[in-house]
Amino acid sequence: MMTSNRSMNITRTTTIVRGLAIALAMFFGNQLVAQYSPLSQSEAMAEMQRFSSGKRVLYLAAHPDDENTRLIAWLSNALDAETTYLSLTKGSGGQNLLGDELGENLGVIREHELRAARSIDGGNQRFTDALDFGYSKSVDEVWTKWNHEDLVRQVVHVIRELQPDFILTRFPPDSRAGHGHHTASAELAIECAKLAGDSTYMSSMPRWKVGGVWWNTSIWWDKTLKDDPEAVHLDLSGFDPLHGDSYGAIGDAARSMHKCQGFGVPINRGPREEYFKKLWGEADLESYLELEERETDQNSRLAQDASFALEIGDQDQAIAKWAVLGRNILEHNSGLSNRYQRWQRVMLHLTGLYAEYYTSSNPLPSDAEFKAMVEIQAMSSGANVYLASLRTSGKQMALNPPQLVGPDGIQLEAELNVVKANSTEVVDHARVRLEIGEEIIMLFMKPIAKLSDRAIGEYREEVAIDPLLHSKFDQSVYWNNGKKSLLGYSVYARKDGIYNWTVSASLPSEQTLIWEHSVSENLKEGWNHFEETVPAKLPLGRFEVSLSTTALDEAGLVVTKRMPEKHTISYPHVGTHYRYRDARSTLSVLDLSSKRIKVGYIEGAGDQMDETLESIGYDVIKITEETPELWELVDAVLVGIRAFNTEPWLMKSQERIASYVKGGGNFVVTYTTAGRSGMELPLPVPLTIGRDRVTEEYAPVSFVSHPLTMEPNKISNADFEQWVQERGLYFPVVNESYTTIFSIEESTGIIYPNSTVVADFGKGSVIYTGLSLFRELPAGVPGALRVLQNILHYDH
């Protein structure tokens, strides 16, 4: 059972985080959850200028943090262009400096870091559904994992919807981009710009001719750019009076939102040069970037008129012109689009109105009615605003005659609609029709949770729906050596009662069931802990363990549903988000030698090798700079990932390592990062680490007959099945003093013999392995554990 103490701690931390989130939100005036967030006069003016310029730019790259925030700040605030950053992925394959969220939960943080960055630099944020599966060497590999046709469709859709004059890419469409995702993003920009203008492609949507696609390059790639006559130069320096700071400062503040990547930067207000090279198209970017006004259309003239009226204090005229602009925008855009929502915030500013659609608690219990409130209030005494009608999916109401919105406001209760199939996604929005004089104004509002706390005051969260049961496995991997074992998990019930569910293990992709057990239990409200017996002699392999419940759907049919795990993701700069995803763990059934030795572990950048070894019965002793005496007690010293990068004392331990190995110790080093010129390790047999890596997790591996592949486990090809993300990284430079063990063949035909190397010295040995054990062990890959055991037990 989880103790109540623990949940108290969680609650307290969350409250502090919420408090900070509110403070930050006020400081930056940002829209943490894209909801009611009043504009100051200068913010409203900045928005009106963006509509007035009639300029639109799309910046396109692969990940959160790829974008050039200084340039986006300049485009949004100096050029006054409506600027959108389209990130193909949400960056879930990256690292996390803030906490232990990885994968989809990291994607939530990075998505909201991007939204927070845009609320500072003035841009809009969009995504496609491309998955960030981690580093990829080549664009060919990317196209085996991303659905090209589907991504093209999504990007063309965004281009036609936003109608940009130019598309700017962060990367070139070739191998200079480095990461395969980066190359793919530039390739997509060119291909989709062409297709967006082709009326035969996706003919249901009107075509849009993009003026050109340009690479926002940098002297990092090309030192000769300064003198390149084909490159367009742009000086980003300048003061933005509406912000009271330089464009560089706005951009740096936005960049510092990428906190989980460690991108916080000091603010540089000085000049900075940007460079652009043409990838495709005819239009002239250089004259476009000059600040002179361009030929304007009807909408930009309406925005200019409204802006001028506001400046001279003619509120009625400003509202009238802005209202016409809003109607025009609605003809081609949804009410929930960035464009209309920006227009709407300005309209609320001009009319002095507060309007919001909200719930008063969060998450909402799934088995109760979802009550929400539409509230409209006039804060300015001058505005004669009438409420004419309201529509939500739970309520439709017309007021005849329309009702004057006064300083006390109007509150209308509605029922929130959620997607019934998974009961967690809120699909509702409120549509409100207001009348001001002759003008009709439509407001579109997504529901938000409006909450308050005595220590914080008012704050907001994305609405989430809390199911009756959620669960959590005790461990992310259960290693099983073919004998009976226990598998622990907890179920949280929101109400006392008898509940039924099934525990099952199946192959992750093919859904082949290898074992299941039905459970019926009387649960108390709160956490309930269970231990399930895993039977002996299950087939070897890596299996997904999950819990499922059955229920009747609306048609009376039995449906099986995975029991979710509740994830609370909460940081000051991104707010609090609840996610419910299928609770899962890994059952790894393997034939592992029963031999055990004493292992000394030197921790580096964080891997779970020590925990994995302890969980299968190894005696693991942590060794630090302060505990040199422990070396004498262990049969093998395992150096965690990047410890040679993060522990300066280890680089100075040449003598200690040499005497340990000479005396019979086995010194094992896992991946260590090296710069372009390599990195020499202080080992008794000299070894230089290079940058070879194999990102294809399915790349064939072959090996020679060597004790490392024979004892105590006989390694076979099956040990290299079910690997995840990659084979390995930072392989050493081959030298004659070391024997190479596993040869990996990439799809390019290149064979890497050097993932793992071993040298004998004195009575002991030195082993370096770049195999990505730090990734495979937490994923429960059986072969990875068998290989690690052989490496640790190596004894010539």
Residues engaged in binding Zn ion (CB under 5 A): 62-63, 66
Nearer to Zn ion, 89 or 528 (CB): 89
Distance in Å, CB of 66 to Zn ion, minimum: 4
Nearer to Zn ion, 122 or 180 (CB): 180
Distance in Å, CB of 65 to Zn ion, minimum: 6
Rg (C-alpha) for the chain, rounded Å, is 30
Nearer to Zn ion, 66 or 462 (CB): 66
Structure tokens at 427: 């699909």
SS3 290: coil
Structure tokens at 686: 């000299």
Beta strands (DSSP E) in 507-604 are: 513-523, 526-534, 541-552, 558-562, 564-571, 575-582, 584-589, 598-602
Burial of 48 (0-12, 13-18, 19+ CB in 10 A): buried
The Cα–Cα gap between 494 and 491 comes to: 10
Distance in Å, CB of 326 to Zn ion, minimum: 37
Number of H helices, E strands in the chain: 19, 44
Distance in Å, CB of 261 to Zn ion, minimum: 10
- How do strand 541-552 and strand 526-534 relate by DSSP bridges? unpaired
| CA-angle at 535, arms to 532 and 536, nearest 5° | 145
The Cα–Cα gap between 415 and 422 comes to: 18
146 phi and psi, to 5 degrees?
-100, 145
Query: Which residues, in sequence order, are CB contacts of 711 under 8 Å at separation 6+?
Result: 790, 793, 794
Q: Are 402 and 441 in contact (CB under 8 A)?
A: no
Distance in Å, CB of 371 to Zn ion, minimum: 43
How many Å from the N-terminal Cα to the C-terminal Cα in the chain? 47
Q: Are 151 and 130 in contact (CB under 8 A)?
A: yes
Distance in Å, CB of 579 to Zn ion, minimum: 23
User: How far is residue 149 from each of residues 154, 174, 192, measured CA to CA in Å?
Assistant: 9, 20, 11
Distance in Å, CB of 392 to Zn ion, minimum: 40
The CB-nearest residue to Zn ion is: 63
Nearer to Zn ion, 27 or 220 (CB): 220
Q: Are 50 and 356 in contact (CB under 8 A)?
A: no
Helix (H) or strand (E) holding 285: helix 285-289
Distance in Å, CB of 181 to Zn ion, minimum: 6
Alpha helices for 562-674 (secondary structure H): 609-615, 643-646, 648-651, 654-662
Distance in Å, CB of 179 to Zn ion, minimum: 6
Nearer to Zn ion, 96 or 743 (CB): 96
Distance in Å, CB of 170 to Zn ion, minimum: 8
Nearer to Zn ion, 87 or 586 (CB): 87
Nearer to Zn ion, 62 or 699 (CB): 62
Q: Are 500 and 561 in contact (CB under 8 A)?
A: no
Nearer to Zn ion, 35 or 183 (CB): 183
The Cα–Cα gap between 396 and 410 comes to: 15
Nearer to Zn ion, 221 or 386 (CB): 221
Distance in Å, CB of 182 to Zn ion, minimum: 6
Helix (H) or strand (E) holding 221: none
Nearer to Zn ion, 88 or 320 (CB): 88
Nearer to Zn ion, 66 or 356 (CB): 66
**Which one, of 209, 218, 184, 232, lies nearest residue 282 by Cα?**
209
Biggest CA-to-CA distance, the chain: 96
Nearer to Zn ion, 63 or 727 (CB): 63
Distance in Å, CB of 625 to Zn ion, minimum: 35
Distance in Å, CB of 62 to Zn ion, minimum: 5
The Cα–Cα gap between 274 and 219 comes to: 9
Query: Which residues, in sequence order, are CB contacts of 10 under 8 Å at separation 6+?
Result: 568
Distance in Å, CB of 336 to Zn ion, minimum: 28
Within 13 Å of residue 682, how many CA atoms lie on the same side as its CB?
17
Burial of 558 (0-12, 13-18, 19+ CB in 10 A): exposed
Nearer to Zn ion, 107 or 640 (CB): 107
Distance in Å, CB of 132 to Zn ion, minimum: 9
Structure tokens at 795: 């004894």
The Cα–Cα gap between 774 and 672 comes to: 12
Distance in Å, CB of 161 to Zn ion, minimum: 24
Nearer to Zn ion, 62 or 303 (CB): 62
Nearer to Zn ion, 181 or 345 (CB): 181
Give the amino acid at 174: D
The Cα–Cα gap between 611 and 474 comes to: 13
How many residues are recorded in the chain? 796
Alpha helices for 128-231 (secondary structure H): 139-145, 148-162, 180-196
Nearer to Zn ion, 66 or 439 (CB): 66
Q: Lay out the sheet containing 82-87: strands in order across.
A: 124-127, 82-87, 56-61, 166-169, 212-217, 273-281, 232-235
